[in-house]
């Protein structure tokens, strides 16, 4: 009996310790401001000045020499506002979010992929671009809260049809249009936070999309919203299962396969 209880106590201790360290790994850097060492920041600055400043500007203002000729302007890093995040609307992106952007770029814009950088180089760039906005060192901005995905559902004709209803109920069509082509009644004259004109995406044109090219990425896009743009956040606006149905419908628009063709409003009435 005594041996039994000692060993179960040991098991409990091991499980507790592993959960604790798992939690620590998952939350590392998102709980408090990350303090990068001077050598990392110096490395990040050298890379940034050489490669990124032509677009993003030497001081991170988004005013590099190439900026004037670009239709989608390079991000101004000083306000700490980012489109691509896993965090709730209005929050800073995680370090991981920023490294994904640098590695993968944003498709269909001048922000290309930087896949050849080593993980250390990406890390140094992430830490350096964070120095442009005081928000990243303000402990009031933390902990960062990431969106919850719930359980992904199977991609079926039924999920698409339900998602189509959510698309109309949530009034996505006001901006993105009834068939998702980016031509809804509110699409005209939208501007972003930096004062530049912006169009709702044509959700049927895969090659024009920036990030949202899988149901999970579509889910993330409308859950977090694209901060700095009129694209709102819908986190908590409907149950997770309805969010997945909507993601499936939007995915069906961009994949154009067989019965995943756009379902027009007339058909669902």
Of residues 88-117, which lie at the interface with ligand HEC (CB under 6 A)? 98, 101-102, 106, 109-111, 114
Residues 6+ apart with CB under 8 A from 223: 147, 149, 233, 234, 235, 243
Beta bridge partners of 197: 191
70 binds ligand HEC (CB under 6 A): yes
For ligand HEC (CB under 6 A), the number of binding residues is 50
- Other C-beta atoms within 10 Å of 232: how many? 15
HSE of 185, CA atoms in CB hemisphere, 13 A: 2
User: Closest separation between CB of residue 67 and ligand HEC, Å?
Assistant: 8
Question: Given the rule CB under 6 A, which of 5-13, 19-27, 74-82, 141-149 is the region that contacts ligand HEC?
Answer: 74-82
Nearest to 109 by CA among 46, 172, 199: 199
DSSP H or E segment with residue 47: helix 38-47
218 binds ligand HEC (CB under 6 A): yes
Q: How far apart, in Å, are the Cα atoms of 55 and each of 49, 69, 73, 252?
A: 10, 10, 8, 34
In a 3-state reduction of DSSP, which class is residue 25?
helix
Token pair 């850097």 is found at 29
Q: Which of 92, 124, 153, 231 binds ligand HEC (CB under 6 A)?
A: 231
Question: Given the rule CB under 6 A, which of 4-12, 31-39, 216-224, 257-265 is the region that contacts ligand HEC?
Answer: 216-224
Q: How many residues does the chain have?
A: 269
223 binds ligand HEC (CB under 6 A): no
Q: Are 147 and 234 in contact (CB under 8 A)?
A: no
Of residues 161-180, which lie at the interface with ligand HEC (CB under 6 A)? 170-172, 174-176
Question: Given the rule CB under 6 A, which of 21-29, 34-42, 50-58, 154-162 is the region that contacts ligand HEC?
Answer: 50-58
244 binds ligand HEC (CB under 6 A): no
Q: What is the DSSP string of 221-238?
A: HHHH--TTSS----TTSS
> In terms of CB distance, is 33 or 121 closer to ligand HEC?
121
Question: Given the rule CB under 6 A, which of 2-10, 135-143, 153-161, 198-206 is the region that contacts ligand HEC?
Answer: 198-206
User: Closest separation between CB of residue 167 and ligand HEC, Å?
Assistant: 6
> In terms of CB distance, is 12 or 73 closer to ligand HEC?
73
> In terms of CB distance, is 6 or 188 closer to ligand HEC?
188
| Rounded distance between C-alpha atoms, residue 43 and residue 124, angstroms | 6
Q: Token pair of 58, please? A: 């030497």
Q: Which of 30, 36, 52, 130 binds ligand HEC (CB under 6 A)?
A: 52
Q: Token pair of 190, please? A: 């939208």
Interface with ligand HEC (CB under 6 A) = 51-52, 54-56, 66, 70, 72, 74-75, 82-84, 98, 101-102, 106, 109-111, 114, 125, 129, 170-172, 174-176, 186, 190, 198, 200-201, 203, 209-212, 218, 221-222, 226, 229-232, 234, 246, 250
């Amino acid at each position: 009996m005594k041996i039994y209880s000692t060993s179960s106590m040991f098991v409990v201790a091991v499980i507790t310790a592993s959960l604790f360290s798992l939690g620590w790994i998952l939350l590392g850097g998102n709980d408090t401001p990350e303090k990068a060492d001077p050598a990392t920041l110096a490395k990040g600055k050298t890379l940034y000045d050489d490669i990124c400043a032509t677009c993003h500007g030497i001081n991170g203002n988004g005013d590099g020499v190439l900026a004037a000729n670009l239709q989608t302007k390079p991000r101004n890093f000083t306000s700490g506002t980012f489109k691509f995040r896993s965090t709730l609307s209005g929050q800073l992106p995680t370090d991981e979010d920023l490294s994904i952007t640098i590695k993968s770029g944003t498709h269909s814009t001048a922000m290309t992929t930087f896949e050849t950088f080593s993980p250390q180089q990406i890390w140094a760039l992430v830490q350096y671009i964070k120095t442009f906005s005081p928000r990243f060192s303000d402990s009031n901005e933390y902990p960062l809260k990431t969106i919850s995905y719930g359980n992904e559902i199977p991609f079926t004709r039924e999920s698409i049809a339900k998602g189509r209803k959510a698309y109309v109920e949530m009034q996505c069509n006001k901006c993105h249009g009834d068939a998702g082509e980016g031509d809804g009644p509110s699409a005209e004259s939208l501007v972003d936070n930096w004062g530049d004109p912006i169009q709702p995406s044509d959700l049927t044109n895969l090659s024009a999309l920036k990030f949202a090219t899988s149901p999970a990425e579509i889910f993330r896009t409308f859950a977090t919203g694209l901060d700095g743009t009129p694209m709102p956040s819908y986190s908590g606006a409907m149950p997770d299962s309805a969010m997945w149905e909507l993601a499936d419908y939007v995915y069906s628009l961009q994949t154009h396969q067989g019965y995943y063709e756009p379902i027009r409003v007339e058909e669902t009435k």
